[in-house]
Structure 1
Amino acid sequence: MMKKILIVTCICFALFIPEIAVSGETSAHENDSKIEDMVVTATMTERIIKDAPGSVEVITEQEIFEMGADTVAQALEEATGLFMTTETGRMMRPSIRGTGNKHTLVLIDGRRMTPGFKDLTGLEQIPVDMIDHIEVVRGPASALYGSDAIGGVVNIITKKPSKILTLGATAKYGRDTYGDGEESVGSAYVGNSMGRFGFLLAGSYRDKNGYDMDGVTPDDGDDIDMNSAAGRFSYQLNGGHELLAGFEAVDRNFNGLRDLQNLDRERDTDDHRLNCFLEYDGKITPESSLMLRANHSWHENEITVDPPTSEIAGSIGDESNAERTLDQLEGRFTSRIFEKHVLTMGTEYIKERREDDDALDDYVETYSIYAQDEYQIFDPLYMALSARWDHYSDFGSELTPRLSMTYAILDNLRLKGAWGMGFRAPGFLELYIPTYVKQGKEIYEPNAGLDPESSQSYEIGIQGEYKKFQAAVTWFKTDIEDMIEPVFYTSTGSGKKKKDYYQYQNIAEASIWGVEFECSLKLPAGFTLSGNLAYLDTEDKTTGEELEGRPDYKGSVKLAYAYQPWGIRANVRVTHVGERYYADEDADSMTIVDAYVSKDITDRFQIFAGVDNLFNSGKDNYEAPEFFYCGIRFSY
């Protein structure tokens, strides 16, 4: 309790100093320019966010700092209409608009990553060292990006090589209210240019001890040891042409107790990931550009269990020791034609491969072409029409169109609408690899005859600004067909030795609709109040029940403060997650309170402190306990 009182007192002291209240100056310039942010994910071309079609949110580097976020998963926790789910292996995955964790495509600078353990890429494995900002596009984006973008896209935009000497470092330490979960985080970066050559290098480490709130297996949090490095290298050719190369490398180990096959066992996991790419960007003419890119993504996991689990009846894919690769070749041409049209055309080739210690070796190839026409019909009315054709080596082709329109009712008031189709191709496990879940009590068998999941979505919204107030309201609806679900067909054994067998099939249909609300208000004396709220209604058309794990409400409110002359910034954030339906037992709603405060010591040094989950909420939902942290940041 004394810790809570001390943290709240410090934050209130920073927020309510009389001299500051009189002045009312603020350095929170990012709030002023939020509607002027440039985004690329919605159309693959640069557009001001207020003019970009559909629903787009930008999470800035400064906002990530002020959340105390160490990973992309933490940086997305307060995003509108996005819910972070904890999946098998304790991986954190985003679900946009209730579509599910496999229906959100995650990119780094528009590049795909190979999936990880059980066909999932955990965002808690991606550090924030190199992030410039994150763009979240809500709504189907398969017309530009292909498979997995039924719910939307999370595009992690990284920093580019520096033109001048740039240095920075951060050190952070924290622990939870029980004295467990001790964490140390460090990161640093350096960048510069030498003539036509520029570079930016970054690295970080994260060391976090495990914790157990109830003293009963499994542990509530694992020991985590994560090291990462990333780099960007650019070379300026003549006449607006540039070569860009880069890499991201992450090594992560996590260790904790699990209840596996009715016995407490220690589970130790090593995750290794390497992404690398080479890209050419050039101005062919003043009105046209060309991008060519080769991308390689590699992932390997090694899992050991002590004492080892017994063999599962029948051959199963070895998810404990698997290697995955993704190779991507892409070309894209963009040009302005007939003054009012911006035409984008592209082609893409992807080869994904997976092999494991059981000698299971499979691959899937994809050939794609896509096109988009951005047409300024007349001054107030803008239209973006796009379509993509994907051909898979294993199960045929998919065509996904999308139409978006923006009508400027006034200079500061816009009406936006969109219709689009999306799809998700079956993953390796669903097609080829038998796996076991729930401590080996259930076995999911593959089905090489699966069809892709498909969707059709609609949305309409209005957004605008008036003086210091910004707001947006959006209604959306998504219908998903041929959802891939495991279907029970037999059991073997009895009692503790009983095993249930399932096979993946295209059986389910789902309907999802909801309303999103976002707003921001600049208050006097340097304060800003902002928030979002999403209401969700889901139905599994096969059973008539709600879809599992989707909250009926999810929203965030943030009161932020900034005073430039004294170099003080602070915020208090409240996030509410509503009830979630599960077949065995519903999950209760929870409300999480976080706080942050920082002070500039000099132009180069800043100290900061904060607390996550101030009132220790969400224990029944396996939410991490109350966590206090402090640190220092240097920049040049």
Structure 2
Amino acid sequence: MRISPLSLAVCLALPGVAAADTVAETTSDAAEFDRVVVTATRTERAIADVPNTVDVIDRERMDTLLVRDIADLFRYEPGVTVGRDFGRFGLSDIRIRGLGGNRVRIQTDGIAVSDAFSIGSFSNANRNFVDLDTLKRVEVVRGPSSALYGSDALGGVVSFITKDPSDYLGDGKDAYFGFKLGAESASEGLFAGATAAFGGERWSGLVAVGHRQGKETENMGEIGGEGSARTQANPQSTSGRSVLGKLVFAPSQIQRFRLTVEGNEDDTDTDVLTSRGLQALTGATNMLVTGDDHQSRARVAFGHEATGLSSALADSVDWQVYRQDSRTRQDSVEVRRVPSGATVIRDRREREFHFDQRTWGLQANALKSFATGSVVHDLAYGVDVARSETKQKRDGRRIFLDTGAVTNVMLPDVFPVRDFPISETTTAALYVQDEIQFADGAFRLVPAVRVDHYRLSPQVDDIFREDNPTTEVVDITETRVSPKLGAVWHFSDAWSLFGGYSAGFRAPPYNDVNIGFTNFAFGYTAIPNPDLRPETSDGLELGLRFAGDAVHASLSAYYTEYDDFIESQRFIGFNDQGLMVYQSQNVADARIRGAELKAGVHFGAIDARLDGWSLRGAAAWSEGEDRTTGDALASVDPLTATLGLAYDNDGWGAELAGRFVGRRDRLPPPPTGIDSYYESPGYGVLDFYAHWSFAPGTRVNVGVFNLADRRYWPAGSVPLVSENSLTLDRYTASGRNVAVSLSVEF
């Protein structure tokens, strides 16, 4: 067997390259790029034929890595970061190449999850709405993807794909049942799930249920007690439930109807000990601060797939209609002692935050293959139509414990309030993509374009109007054309070049367009901005792939420019009443550039005596700056890499995986009063995994994380804080911890 010396050197000479590549175990490295993905081109394509960087994490890999949340999911994916807030709200956004929040599209079975929204210290609606145990695969498209997915795909796409009955049935098997039990020490978590599937000639179905519970995720802070000096995690109690049901009817071999019902909810109770004690800004002493947070998502979808059609317009079509409801409710309680002259007022402050989003939608896609001479075309086209209604409200009351008096005045608010009016957004889009194959498929050109029409219609109700009596809300209508051009050239049996240009955009958000509140006591007001422009991006990428029998590698470089970033609630001056005026505006441009590498070696293909041994690696370097000021972007990660050595056979396997991160030394300049921001140091952490199938249909997975019990600060968890802060240990990761699971299948 002949192996390219260059390709072998590329994989073995990288000290920081990574383990935990996100594909299942295979017997040939060439098969690593034969994995079929859908998200990158909205058609089923092998990774080797995709003109941009895409990651795939399948069910087997998630089980091996004992994935419980999105932080676990992307632990070994340099360039993809999950943020975490200290205190109460936990995991926040997913960042791809330094861009996160609502600028990354997160979808489940093609349906976008709801938006994130936060305001103040007591309100934070995140997008962590998916139970990962219901998934069979996760696909990540890095870089602008609006040519296929429209608004919010400015930075990339994270696509969650749920289980199907066909994943468990076939080859004469008409029924399946399996369950999984597990525990983890970092949060004292317990989880359990069960999946049942049945099928016949025409009908098949699946039901998957899950339950999870735990406590706060530990860090390595050593200061306990109450007050702002506390560095240990605040005490929490968490629980969650999920259900996924699918019913499939196949009237013929070329048609399939699918009904999907999905529900997921999570509850978190927090005793916010860090907020107890004397509050310097108000002079009050907090005796008790608690949070009760609940979020849920429910989805119903009905779809149809047809293949093998004899039509001049399409060889295959698929469509689905859906409704999705996402809700966040967060209740906060403060019990305080407030000095007032010679007396002390005892009061109880109760706050409620609601953020609800309901979406109806239709998606339809078609694929037609045809040839013009020696050139083969795979033409994909489709429509996306969605209408969302978004409601946000904050409510509260102040109870004077000595007198029993109750008031809805809690400065600077007079409750209830809406920070933006009830907003209805309608999007309608048409996309077209042509995958053009030349030279018997050796060269593939992929042009695509999408036209999006976006309309925002605010609805002013009494709650918004009472708090904003003179604010004039505005409608917005935008049409945006997003092009893309990709190419793949297989210039030899094992080598290929890929890359291209892609555009991204994000429509002006409803809360930035029509934000509105006035506070005369504190002398400020926020006003709408009908002239907000969409945020846009232009990305270039170029990469090289090698897929041999023993070695695989993919190296890519990218450069992306972002224009018209929106800064929310920017101070713009004073009005005629002397109030400070705040307004969301397009003020910032940015650029992010970087390089990414994935590589691996299957040693059994080199020497049969090494069968079962493999080395996997990944690394990412990136650099970002504000083009307006020249300052560094804090959201861009330092150099990150992973490296792992694994052994696997039919009955058992083990893997030693390392995570390596450089010093976070590119930060923007701090404001007046802070000498410099804290630069989290670089680190290296080792994890160990093992699995054992001790009987047919059974499997035990064990993971030991942070083997050396090292204190380190994950870049995605450290906010911009002073280097002289006395509470830096708040943002440390967990020390040595263990997770285990048992799965049984019948």
* 1:165 and 2:163 correspond: no
1:158 CA displacement: 1.8
| CA pair 183-155 structure 1, distance change in 2 beyond 3 A | same
> Match of 1:54?
52
Cα 1:282–1:628 shift into 2, 3 Å:
same
What letter matches 1:353 in structure 2? E
Match of 2:354 in 1: 321
Q: Does 1:506 align with 2:598?
A: no
Q: Which amino acid aligns with 1:391?
A: H
- For 1:170, give the aligned amino acid: K
Name the residue aligned to 2:493. Answer: 411
Shift of 1:488: 4.0
Q: Classify 1:622/1:503 alpha carbon distance in 2 versus 1 (closer, same or farther; 3 Å).
A: farther
Confirm whether residue 193 of structure 1 aligns to residue 203 of structure 2: no
The answer to whether the 8 A contact 1:387-1:400 is kept is yes
Aligned: 1:392 with 2:454: yes
Q: What's the TM-score, normalizing by structure 2?
A: 0.74
Show the counterpart of 2:208: 202
C-alpha distance 612-444 of structure 1, shift in aligned 2 (>3 A)? farther
Residue 738 of structure 2: aligned partner: 628
> How far is the alpha carbon of 1:446 from its aligned partner?
5.5
Q: Among 76, 79, 84, which residue is 1:78 paired with?
A: 76
Q: Is contact 2:560-2:591 (8 Å) kept?
A: yes
What is aligned with 2:436? Answer: 375
List per-residue Cα deviations over 1:66-122 (Å, max 9, x = no partner): 111012442122224212223593333221112233322111122222225449974
**Gap change, CA 1:471 and 1:245, over 3 Å in 2:** same
Taking a change above 3 Å as real, the CA distance of residues 572 and 121 of structure 1, as seen in their structure-2 partners, is: farther
| Residue in 1 that maps onto 2:96 | 96
The aligned amino acid for 1:364 is T
The aligned residue for residue 270 of structure 1 is: 294
User: 5+ unaligned residues in a row in structure 1: which ranges?
Assistant: 1-26, 311-317, 493-498
**Corresponding letter in the other structure for 1:133:** R
| Cα distance per residue 1:33-65 (max 9 Å; x no partner) | 322111111111111111122111211211111
Residues 245 and 116 (structure 1), Cα distance of their counterparts in 2 relative to 1, 3 Å cut: farther
- Measure the CA separation in 1 of the matches of 2:649 and 2:97: 36
Shift of 1:390: 0.6
Report the AA paired with residue 220 of structure 1: A
Structure 2 distance, partners of 1:500, 1:266, is 33
Match of 2:390 in 1: 354
2:504 to 412, 419, 422: 422
Could you say which residue in structure 2 is the equivalent of 1:24? none
Describe how 1:69-468 pairs up with structure 2 within 5 A.
Answer: 69-86=67-84, 89-118=89-118, 122=126, 124-162=128-166, 163=169, 164-176=174-186, 181-210=187-216, 211=218, 213=221, 214-215=223-224, 216-217=229-230, 220=233, 222-238=236-252, 240-258=254-272, 263=286, 265-283=289-307, 285=309, 288-307=315-334, 320-338=353-371, 340-357=376-393, 358=417, 360-379=421-440, 380-393=442-455, 394-433=476-515, 447-468=529-550
Q: Is the 8 A contact 2:66 2:740 kept in 1?
A: no
Deviation at 1:249, TM superposition (A): 0.9
**Within 1, Cα distance between the matches of 2:510 and 2:230?**
31
**Aligned residues of 1:343 and 1:374 also touching (Cα < 8 A):** yes
Cα distance in 2, alignment partners of residues 309 and 476 from structure 1: 52
1:617 maps onto 2:711 in alignment: yes
* Selected match of 1:544 from 603, 609, 630: 630
Offset from partner CA, 1:562-611 (integer Å, 9 cap, x none): 121xx112112222233442554234134333221111110122222212
Larger radius of gyration: 2
Q: Hey, what's the Cα distance between the residues in 2 that align with 1:169 and 1:444?
A: 52
State which drifts further: 319-328 or 601-610.
Answer: 319-328
Match of 1:572 in 2: 656
**1:29 and 2:26 matched:** yes
Return the offset for 1:534. 0.7
Structure 1 CA distance for aligned equivalents of residues 478 and 130 of structure 2: 33
Alpha-carbon distance between aligned partners in 1 of 2:293 and 2:679, rounded to the nearest angstrom: 28
Given that residues 114 and 352 in structure 1 are in contact (C-alpha distance below 8 angstroms), is that contact kept between their aligned partners in structure 2? Answer: no
- Mapped to 2, the partners of 1:446 and 1:519 lie a distance apart of 49
Partner residue in 2 for 1:479:
561
Report SS of the residue matched to 1:50. helix
Deviates further, 54-63 or 72-81: 72-81
CA–CA distance in 1 between the matches of 2:118 and 2:71? 18
| Cα shift at 1:546 | 0.6
Identical residues among aligned pairs (%): 23
> What SS class does the counterpart of residue 552 from structure 1 fall into?
coil
Give 4+ residue runs of structure 1 displaced > 4 Å after superposition: 119-124, 216-219, 259-264, 433-436, 442-446, 499-502
Separation of aligned partners in 2, 1:561 and 1:500: 64
Q: Could you list the runs of 5+ residues in structure 2 that have no partner in the other structure?
A: 1-23, 281-285, 338-350, 394-416, 456-475, 604-609, 671-676, 714-728
Distance 2:545 2:734 in 1: 35
Structure 1: distance between partners of 2:145 and 2:125: 19
TM-score, length of structure 1 as denominator length: 0.86
Secondary structure (helix, strand or coil) at the match of 1:102 reads helix
Question: Hey, what does 2:692 align to over in structure 1?
Answer: 599
Aligned residues of 2:39 and 2:139 also touching (Cα < 8 A): yes
SS in 1 for 2:60: helix
Deviation at 1:133, TM superposition (A): 1.3
Higher relative contact order (CA 8 A, sep 6+): 2
Does structure 1 retain, via aligned residues, the 8 Å contact 2:129–2:297?
Answer: no
Contact 1:74 1:124 in 2 (8 A): no
Deviation at 1:196, TM superposition (A): 1.0
The CA deviation string for residues 158-202 of structure 1, in whole angstroms up to 9 with x for no partner, is 2212333122111112223xxxx3111111111111331111111
Aligned equivalents of 1:90, 1:386: Cα separation in 2: 38
Within 1, Cα distance between the matches of 2:696 and 2:580? 62
2:367 maps to a residue whose letter is T
Give the distance between the partners of 2:443 and 2:133, measured in 1 at CA.
Answer: 39
> Partners in 2 of 1:50 and 1:587 — Cα distance?
38
- 1:534-584, Cα deviation, whole Å (9 max, x unpaired): 1101111122111113212122112221121xx112112222233442554
- The one-letter code of the counterpart of 2:657 is R
User: Aligned with 2:133: secondary structure?
Assistant: coil
Distance 1:598 1:491 in 2: 62
Bigger strand share: 1
SS of the equivalent of 2:76 reads: coil
Count of residue correspondences: 588
Distance 1:391 1:38 in 2: 31
Distance, in Å, in 2 between the alignment partners of 1:274 and 1:396 is: 29
**Structure 2 CA distance for partners of 1:530 and 1:444, relative to 1, 3 Å:** farther
Aligned equivalents of 1:31, 1:250: Cα separation in 2:
38
Q: Does 1:586 align with 2:678?
A: yes
Match for 1:188: what amino acid?
A
Q: Match of 1:11? A: none
Partner of 1:526: 612
Measure how far apart 1:145 and its partner are: 0.5
When residues 134 and 501 of structure 1 are mapped into structure 2, their CA distance, relative to the original with a 3 A threshold, is: farther
